[in-house]
């Protein structure tokens, strides 16, 4: 009993430390939910996961970053703005921010994910950060969440113009394929594993030829990795 009380007190202290780094005004129940990965929820008997908050936070993040880039880069065309946004909100970029917040130490994971290093996986860290932004939006509204996003992503936003295309491999591949007259790439995606621990495998086909493969914990991540491989395979071909 005493050990359980001690663990609960330690958890509450950890949440307060995270809240101080992120935003002290975020509702603590929503903060706890934002940190609840599906692997933990599954082992805990089906408690709610952070996936709905992640869905919301992804949209909030996209809006804030899009609006910022639109205002700051008035002469940049839509296609380039899309690539800049992709660079800022990529899994890799968000995972960097999540590590700065030490999210890996706070996220609740199942035993399997814990043992496989889930606390330092880019996919889990980036998804958890998006869930936190969803919790922030529900707790303190859009304007305060905007301040948080702009602070957390300051470096990415300042470097967006330089980062650009390479981080949005699907767009880059589509443009390269069009330049070569090969048509629009299309993707075949499959997955294995239970709902709480799925692994997606994607292959991208260009002009009836499989050009790239990718694996990830989300469909979009597997497709991006397949597109990166395919882009590399087309890089040396002439139009």
Measuring CA to CA, how many Å separate 191 from each of 80, 106, 135?
32, 28, 29
Q: At what angle do helices 78-88 and 51-72 cross, to 10 degrees?
A: 130
**CA distance from start to end of the chain:** 71
Q: Which of 23, 113, 122, 130 is catalytic?
A: 130
Q: Which of 58, 113, 122, 168 is catalytic?
A: 58
Q: Which of 132, 140, 115, 149 is nearest to 15 (CA)?
A: 132
- Helix or strand or coil: residue 49? coil
Say whether 130 is catalytic.
yes
54 in a labelled binding site: yes
Q: H or E stretch including 111?
A: helix 111-115
130 in a labelled binding site: yes
Say whether 14 is catalytic.
no
Binding-site residue positions for Mg(2+): 54, 127, 130
Active site residues: 58, 130
Binding-site residue ranges = 54, 127, 130
């Amino acid at each position: 009993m005493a050990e359980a009380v001690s663990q609960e007190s330690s958890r509450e202290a950890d949440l307060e430390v995270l809240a101080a780094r992120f935003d002290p005004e975020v509702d603590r129940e929503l903060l706890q939910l934002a940190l609840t990965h599906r692997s933990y929820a599954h082992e805990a008997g089906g408690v709610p996961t952070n996936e709905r908050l992640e869905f919301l936070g992804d949209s909030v993040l996209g809006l804030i970053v899009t609006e910022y880039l639109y205002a700051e880069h008035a002469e940049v065309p839509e296609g380039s703005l899309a690539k800049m946004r992709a660079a800022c909100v990529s899994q890799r970029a968000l995972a960097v921010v999540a590590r700065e917040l030490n999210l890996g130490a706070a996220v609740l994971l199942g035993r399997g994910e814990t043992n496989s290093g889930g606390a330092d996986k880019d996919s889990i860290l980036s998804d958890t950060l998006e869930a936190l932004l969803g919790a922030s939006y529900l707790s303190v509204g859009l304007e305060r969440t905007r301040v948080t996003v702009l602070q957390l992503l300051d470096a990415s936003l300042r470097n967006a113009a330089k980062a650009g295309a390479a981080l949005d491999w699907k767009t880059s591949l589509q443009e390269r394929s069009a330049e070569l007259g090969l048509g629009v790439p299309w993707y075949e995606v499959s997955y294995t594993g239970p709902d709480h621990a799925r692994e997606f495998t994607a292959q991208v086909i260009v002009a009836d030829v499989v050009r790239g493969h990718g694996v990830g914990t989300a469909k979009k991540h597997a497709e991006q990795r397949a597109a990166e491989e395919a882009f590399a395979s087309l890089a040396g071909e002439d139009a």
